A = this chain, B = another copy of it.
C-alpha cells in the first residue's frame, strides 16, 4: 500500500530511506523501544493500526509481534518538527523487548540521580 503523498512529502528520510520511530506505551507513558520505518512500513502502520517497522539487519518489513505474539496496537502517530522521527503511542501485548523485558531500556542504567532501591 502506498504512503499518502501528503505525509510522504513531509518525511526527511536518512540515507537508507528510513525515519526513526520512538514507541511509547499508552497509559504508562513508558518508552518501549526505538525502531525504523521505510515508507511502506509507515503506510502499513497507518492503514492497519498494527505497528510495522523496517528491519535494518534483515533488510525487510517487520510486523511487530508477527512471530512473538507481542503485538502493538497503535493509538496515535505523530511526526516531529523536522520530519525525521515519528512517535507512536501503542497498546503493548506482552514484552516489547526481544529479551523478554517490558521495555528495551529496562536492563542498563548508565546514570541516575534517583536514589533508593531500584
Shortest C-beta distance, A102 to chain B (Å), equals 12
Number of copies: 2
Most chain B CB within 10 A, of A22, A28, A98, A101, is at A22
Cβ < 8 Å to B, chain A residues 62-118:
74-82, 85-87, 97-99, 101, 104-114
Using CB atoms, name the residue of chain B closest to A81. Answer: B104
Docked-complex contact A107 and B81, CB < 8 angstroms: yes
> Given contacts A78-B109, A99-B81, is CB(A34)–CB(B49) below 8 Å?
no
CB of A86 within 8 A of CB of B110, answer yes
> Does A24 lie at the interface of the complex (its beta carbon under 8 Å from any beta carbon of B)?
yes
CA distance A12 to B39 in the complex (A): 25
